[in-house]
Each structure stands twice: as structure tokens, then as C-alpha cells.
Structure 1
Amino acid sequence: MTMHAVELPELWMPHPLRVNRHLPGLRAESETWAREMGMVSDGRRTSRHAIWTRSQFQAMTVDQLTAWTLPDAAPADLRLNHRFNIWALAWDDYFASAFKRTGDMQGAREFTVRLHAFLHPEDGARSPEPVNAVERGLADLQRQLFPPRLAHWRRDFNRALAQYIDAGVEELANSRAGRVPHLIDYAPFRRESFAAHTAPYSVELSTGARIPERIRSSRTMRGLLAAFMDVMGLANDIASYDREVHEEHDVNNLVVVMATSLGIPLGDAVPAAVRLVNSRLRDFEQLRQDGLPLLVRRCGLRHEERAELETWIGGACSFLSGLHAWYTGAPRYVSPDGPPGLRYRAGTGACPPVPASVAGPGSGAQP
């Protein structure tokens, strides 16, 4: 059964789409980088190991994904995050083609072990000589991702990437064994397999704002970040259901997980999955609007800390709205021969402001 045969409830998105004004110059530059890494074919015999043709690369509209999720990023930061988005999709498509579709578990393990050698928690560590496009892209990114203002991200970001590539092997093992993850275990695993733990880095890169250290480890902030990451990965499962389940025969998908865990037909699991994603977005909104003001008052955050928190949260809202818009419009997820698998309802007006009790006086927040 395909998604197109199901009448879905709407994915809820209260935040409007905003577009980075530097989008027009993004595609050509990023295509040049992807070709230099060997990800995109240049039409010569040496391109036979490329992951995409030029038309396939352009059809993915990754430039739109980046400009929609990071509307406030400066040009250099936008380009850097765009390259990371391209690399993550390159890894995904390469792994699916080389290992998931063939069931090559040994090859997947060897490929993953080599990628770990390119993840350096310390600056200046040496990497092996890259032998494919994914390795070349990762080696190049390691030289760019952690400028001085983001140096504190090196260890956590590379830990998230290690989880991302390791999850591919676990997904392959599940599919080969016909072992569907249980719903209770799946959400935290999906944060890893979607590389969602890198998203706070992207928001910080775009906005220049950090979550104040005094509340970063609080229960409220951890809950908000978990909901933020769940919306990303679980909505992706719905958007990519046809491709993952029918083309790649993957069991690591929220729709399949819900059908198996709850013992319901796939036809019922699809709308149930949409409602679950909507529920996690409501959790994010509740914590943003109600939980954070209580936390800020309890911790006595200073004015500048409140302003940074407001800016970061606004960036997170934009990140979610941009990602949802891409899921529902990119050819990667929307078949040209039929209606999209999802229906998307955008909010009206600006991203709802952080309450004044969070933003603090004089921060520009509306009452």
C-alpha cells in the first residue's frame, strides 16, 4: 500500500516559511563543491562512481532546504551548512544503494569503520586518504565545521555523526532480520539515524545565539530539544515512506513501527503516525510557550541570556518550518505522477514570539 492511497490528516505547522535572501547564489557554488568531492557526475568516465547525476542533484533542491531552514544565516554560514546537508544526503543515498539494496552487511560495517577514522574530537588530527565521495566530503567538512566561535561543538557534533553512520548498520541489520523496532525505542533511535543531534548546531550557526549554559541540561530544555528532534525525524519517515519501504524494503520507518507495535493495519498506522508527529510539535510549543518562562524565572536568567534564548528559539521555529516545507515540495519526496504523500498547512503571521517573561524587557518580544 502506498501513501498516496491514504487520506491523511494534515501535518500541523504553526510557523510560517521564511527564505534566506542569499538563496539565489547557493546552488551553483554547492554543485561545484559536490562535483569536486565526486558526488555529482561531470559526464566523464571518471565520474562512474558518482552518487548522483547533475539532474538528480538539482532535482533534490538541497539549496532550498538550506535556505528555508536557515533564513537568517550569513552567506558563509549558509554555504557551510549547505555542504553538510549535501554530505548527509550523499551518505544516505550511497549507503542505501551500496548496502541496503544489496544486503551487504560486511561491506556496510567496513564502510562505517572507515568513516569513523574521519571524525576527530581534537583539532588537527590526521585522516586516512579518502577513497570515495562520502569520505572526501566528510574529510573536507572536518576542516570547515568548527571555526573558533563553534569550536565547542567539535566533540558533540562528531559524536552525533558517529551515531548517524552507526545507525545505518543497525537499520540494515533490522531489515535483513525482518526485525521492526518497537515504538518505545524508536523515537530516540530516530534522533540518531536522522542526525537530529546536529540540528542545534545548525540553529546556532544560523542565528549566532547559544542556549544559555545554566539551562542547557534542565529537564525543560532537554524535553524541548527532544521534541524538536522528534518532529524532524518522524515527519521525514512519513514523507519518505514510499521510497524507504517500497523501494529499499526498510523496516525502520515510523509507519511500519506503529503498525507492528500497536498491532494495527498500515492504513490505520499512516494517520496515527501523522497524529504522533503533530503531538510532538504540540509538546515543543507547550514547552516553548509555558515551560521556558517558568524555567527562566526560576533560574533568574540575565537580560542578555534571555535575548540569546529568544533568538535561538526563533531559529528553531524557522528550522522546523523550512524542513516541513521541503518534505512536502521536494521531488525527493513528492512523486511527479501523483499528489504528495503529505498535506502541509503553514501558519499565518510571524513565528509566535517567545513570551516576554523569557525574552525580557526591551528584547523586542510582543506581550
Structure 2
Amino acid sequence: MTVRTVELPQLWMPYPLRVNPYLSALHEESESWARKMGMLDGYEGPSARRAIWTRPKFRAMTVDQLTAWTLPDASLAGLRLNHRFNVWALAWDDYFASAFKQTGDLPGALVFTARLHAFLRPEHGARLPEPTNAVERGIADLQQHLFPPSLAHWRNEFNRALARYIDAGVEELANSRSGRIPHLIDYAPFRRESFAAYTASYSVELATGTRIPEKIRHTRTVRALLDAFMDFMGLANDIASYEREVHEEHDVNNLVLVVGTSLGISRHDAVPAALNLVNARLRDFEHLRQKDLPQLVRRSGLHHDERAELATWLQGACSFLSGLHAWYTGAPRYAPADVSFQE
């Protein structure tokens, strides 16, 4: 057996990074909310488990940068709201990994996930259960704030996306327990769910105050554009988090493993192959944005205000991808840059 160490190849990103001017306002606020929910050391309420993060670990994740990089045009209120959601999503991910993935506790994961479903009630004013842990406290708090009047139309869709997100965690655990690496054909649609990518359009709307015009929202071109938009998020994350997920967490749900197994190639060769797929999806997004979407706009007869709204939304989507790319390639959460591949 030989061990070769290679440097992770570069993810392509054609959009400039822009930073929200309210970045500095997020830092302490995010710590106080995470601590209040019981995610961070220093929580003083009742809890059956220790905090998910120490303060140094939380700060190393630079979630405030993630939020400010992905939503450069958001108001301070919108930035804070989306930041709390980002903190919650990472808290769920790390909690689920330590409590269930690392122990292989599938029955416990099913119970935990069933309880979380009870907090994803789409009805306005629905009575929620009493939270018993930091993840439940976080989502219960967010449910009170995520759907202001301008985003009320997201209530059902957003909670469905979160339900798919937490259910995908159970499926990932089942795959890891059985050693079943997903097939490439099935993996990209599944990764949209396991990355909570279906919530990303909400974040763009929150930041820009704009929506994709209803007249074209459900067309094949827009669906393809949104699929490519979501695919870059989760699949690029697989490249960045390969070391942590595969070597440290022994997770089989990663694009590098999926490509290697599906194509019958070594892990060493699977890295550039996986990277090419990720970059291809971003090229698909760019082609649809620059070529196919303008043709659709002309055919659909969108008026000036609708075209302006679409252009603003698209700029927000590009900024979202650019911010994710910057976080993936710069955050300590995804270090180190060198990975060992065994053949």
C-alpha cells in the first residue's frame, strides 16, 4: 500500500467576493445567541448534554464571515436572522455527528429527528413542544422570527426544506453504518437535501428583498438554474470537507468517495474528477444565467420592474456562491489543505 499526499485542487469562482458592512456587528451577537440556546460554553439553563462548542472552536468556524460574505447586501436585521440560521444549521450538523454518526446510534438518531419534526410546524402560531436540547431550542427560537410578512410565503417551503435536511442526516448515518456509498446518479439530488440547499433562495430573498418573477419561476430554465445553484453549494462543500468527513468522521457520504466508487477509480484520481464535476455545475449555472435566462426573459415578456428584480436576485445568488467559496477555501473548519489518499 502506498500513501500519496496531494494538494487539494482549486474550486473555480468567477464572482467577486463582497462583504456586508455589518460584519463587525455580528461577532458578539452570534456568541450570545449560541450561548443562550445552549450551543456554546457558558449556557446556564437546564441541559442533558454539554455544549456543542467551546468558545475557541466556535470562533474558529467564523460563521459571522460566512454570513457577511454570502449576503453582502442584507440589512443588519436580515443579516442577524440569517446568521442565527447558519449557526443553527452548523449546530445541528456537529451535534448529529457527535451524538449519532460517531456512535452509530441509528435508533437514537431516529428519535432525535422525529422530535425535531415537531418543531417544523408550518402553521402560523402553531404550538411547539418544550425544547430539551440546544438544537431544539435554536429551531424553536428561529420559528418565531424566520417568516416576517415579506417572507411569509416561505413558511411551508422553508420548513419542508429543513425536514428534508434532518431526514437526510438519518439516511447518511444509515449509509455509513452499512458502508453503502451512494451512486453518483443519485447523489447530487440527495446532496441538495443534506446540505439544506433548498433554503438558499430564502437567504437571497432576505438579503436582496427580491424574488424570481412568478411568470418564469416554474419554467424548466429556472429549475435548471436553481439546481446548478444548489449543486455547487453541497458538492463544493464535499471537496472542502473531505479530510474531516472521510478521515476523521469515517463518513461515506462525500462526492470524492461517490465518484471513486461509481467510476471505479482510486481516491487519488477521484479528487480531480470530483472537482471537475463541481466546476462543471458552476459553469452550468453561469451558462444558464448569461445565455438561456435572457432568452426566457425575452420570450416571457417580463416588464422592466420584473427584469430589474430578477437581475438583483441573480446578483444576490452570485454573491451567495462567492461567499460560500471564500468560506470553504479560507475557514479553519476546512483546514488542512493537504490530504492523504490511500490506494
With structure 1 as the length reference, what TM-score do the two structures score? 0.89
- 2:37 is aligned to 37
How far apart are 1:10 and its partner, in Å?
Answer: 2.2
Give how far 1:340 is off: 5.9
1:328 touches 1:340 (CA, 8 Å); kept in 2?
Answer: no
Alignment of 1:240-279 (within 5 A): 240-279=241-280
1:171 and 2:172 equivalent? yes
Amino acid at match of 1:192: E
**Counterparts of 2:13 and 2:209, CA distance in 1:** 24
| Structure 2 letter corresponding to 1:158 | N
Checking the alignment, whether the CA contact within 8 Å between 1:9 and 1:275 is kept in structure 2 is no
For 2:139, the aligned partner's letter is L
Shift of 1:25: 1.0
> Which secondary structure does the structure 2 equivalent of 1:11 belong to?
coil
Identity %: 75
1:289 aligns with 2:290: yes
**Following the alignment from structure 2 to structure 1, what is the Cα–Cα distance between the partners of residues 142 and 210?**
22
Aligned residue for 1:365? none
Q: Secondary structure at the match of 2:316?
A: helix
Deviation at 1:122, TM superposition (A): 1.1
Q: Contact 2:5 / 2:338 at 8 angstroms: preserved in 1?
A: no
Map Cα deviations across residues 121-167 of structure 1 (whole Å, 9 max, x no partner): 11000110000000000000000000001000000000000000000
Contact 1:17 1:68 in 2 (8 A): yes
Equivalent positions of 1:132-171 (< 5 A) are 132-171=133-172
Following TM superposition, by how much is the alpha carbon of 1:7 offset from its aligned partner in structure 2, in angstroms?
4.0
Kindly report structure 1 stretches of 4+ aligned residues shifted beyond 4 Å: 43-48
Could you say which residue in structure 2 is the equivalent of 1:86? Answer: 87
- Measured on the aligned residues, the alpha-carbon RMSD in Å equals 1.6
The separation in 2 between residues aligned to 1:227 and 1:332, in whole angstroms, is 25
Query: 1:115 maps to what in 2?
Result: 116
Q: Which residue of 2 aligns with 1:349?
A: none
Which letter maps to 2:22? H
1:216-365 paired onto structure 2 within 5 Å: 216-335=217-336, 339=337
**SS, match of residue 12 in structure 2:** strand
Q: CA deviation at 1:43?
A: 7.7
Secondary structure class of the residue paired with 1:332: helix
Equivalent-residue separation in structure 1 for 2:330 and 2:282 (angstroms) = 20
8 Å contact kept, 1:65–1:326: yes
SS of residue in 1 equivalent to 2:21:
coil
**Are the structure 2 counterparts of residues 111 and 179 from structure 1 closer, same or farther at C-alpha, using a change threshold of 3 Å?**
same
Query: Are the aligned partners of 2:164 and 2:196 in contact in 1 as well (CA < 8 Å)?
Result: yes
> How many Å separate the matches in 2 of 1:165 and 1:6?
33
2:63 maps to amino acid: V
The match for 1:21 is 21
Verify the 8 A CA contact 2:85 2:142 in the aligned structure 1.
Answer: yes
How far is 1:8 from its partner? Answer: 4.3
Task: Report the 3-state secondary structure (helix = DSSP H, G, I; strand = E; otherwise coil) of the residue aligned with 1:5.
Answer: strand
Structure 1, gaps ≥5 residues long: 342-367
Instruction: Report deviation, 1:184.
Output: 0.3
Cα deviation digits, residues 41-67 of structure 1 (max 9, x gap): 118796762100111111110000000
Check 1:340–1:75 CA distance in 2 against 1; reply closer, same or farther (3 A cut).
Answer: farther
Aligned to 1:6: 6
8 Å CA contact 2:20, 2:71 repeated in 1: yes
